[in-house]
Amino acid sequence: MNASLSINDLHVSVDGTEIIKGLTLEIPKGEVHAIMGPNGSGKSTLAKVLAGHEDYEVTGGSVTMDGQDVLGMEIDERSRAGLFLAFQYPHEIPGVSNANFLRAALQARLPKGEEIDAVAFYKEMYARMDELEMDRKFTGRSVNEGFSGGEKKRNEILQMMMLEPSFAILDETDSGLDIDALRIVAQGVNSMRSPARGFLVITHYQRLLDYIVPDHVHVMFDGRIVRSGDKSLALELEEKGYDWVKEELAA
């Protein structure tokens, strides 16, 4: 069995326009991969396609997780199989408390008839919230409703910690975060790094990668990965800008 999230020659269209044009990437468990790229390069599309968003049509290629076909699975099946997406813009769910939402998500992973242990659940949730420096009052508040940008992102990381995925995709988790929040969120992510878990960190800026140090960095442009390297590639990009990649490609 192949213990990785493996994307092979993926092609994706939206309304007939191809956005991802043959993307290949393998993320073995235990590694953190970063994808950087200018706006419109297809980074966020990749995140949503992996999660199964129905607006995107996969026209070719394959995605497997630990050897298992992902593209044939429903959105929720992918989640329960171990795929997690931290949203760039997390949605609000009015009237549903954070605690109830998390509980429902965990309950969905149990076999029918089995009930979640409420005491253990709250203990775990409080411990994780403390790590993320989240006030206890967030357990009773409606999911993301009235949360600041930073609070929403912390909440995404809280969900990730509670669901303990095998592969986590972080879609521009750094956007809208001040430096303190960025540090806390990164700490949360780093605490989750393990040989049993792979990460795909999507970001526009190098800044996040000072805190979550990647094993590999990929540059995405026009629907493909055009360059791969180690963490120094991110620094190089930061210094020279995305135009450097575009010019190199044109040459």
Partner 1 sequence: MPHDNATLEAVSIDQAEGNFSFPEAYDYDAGYGLTEQVIDYISDAKQEADWVRDFRKRALKVFLDKPMPTHWASKDLENIHFDNIRYYLAKGQRPTRSWDEVPDDVKQTFERLGIPEKERKYLAGVEAQFDSEAAYSNVKEELEKQGVIFVNSTEGLREHPEIFRKWFGKVIPTGDNKFSALNSAVFSGGSFIYVPPGVKVAHPLQAYFRINAENFGQFERTLIIVDEGAEVTYMEGCTAPKFETATLHSAVVELVAMKDAKIQYITVQNWSNNVFNLVTKRGLAHENAEIRWIDCNIGSRLTMKYPGVIMKGRKARGEVISIALANDGQHQDTGAKMIHAADETTSNVVSKSISVGTGRSTYRGQVHIPKHLKGCKNNTECDALLINTSSRTDTYPAITVRGNQHATQHEASVSQVSEDQIFYMQQRGLSEAEAMSLSVNGFVNDLVREFPMEYSVELKRLIDLEMEGSVG
Binding site for partner 1 (CB under 8 A): 51-54, 74-76, 78-80, 84-85, 87, 90-96, 100-101, 104-105, 108-109, 142, 159, 163
Q: Is-contact 244 36, C-beta < 8 A?
A: no
What does each C-alpha distance from 88 to 154, 177, 203, 233 come to in angstroms? 12, 11, 10, 23
SS3 of 130-159: the string is: HHCCCCHHHHCCEECCCCCHHHHHHHHHHH
CB of 36 to partner 1, least distance (A): 23
Q: Which DSSP category does 218 fall into? A: E
Q: For partner 1, give the closer residue by CB, 95 or 251.
A: 95
Q: For partner 1, give the closer residue by CB, 75 or 213.
A: 75
83 vs 17: CA distance, rounded Å: 26
3-state secondary structure of 166: coil
Q: For partner 1, give the closer residue by CB, 170 or 209.
A: 170
CB of 58 to partner 1, least distance (A): 16
Q: For partner 1, give the closer residue by CB, 57 or 238.
A: 57
CB of 139 to partner 1, least distance (A): 15
CB of 78 to partner 1, least distance (A): 8
Q: For partner 1, give the closer residue by CB, 27 or 85.
A: 85
Q: Which DSSP category does 5 fall into? A: E
CB of 159 to partner 1, least distance (A): 6
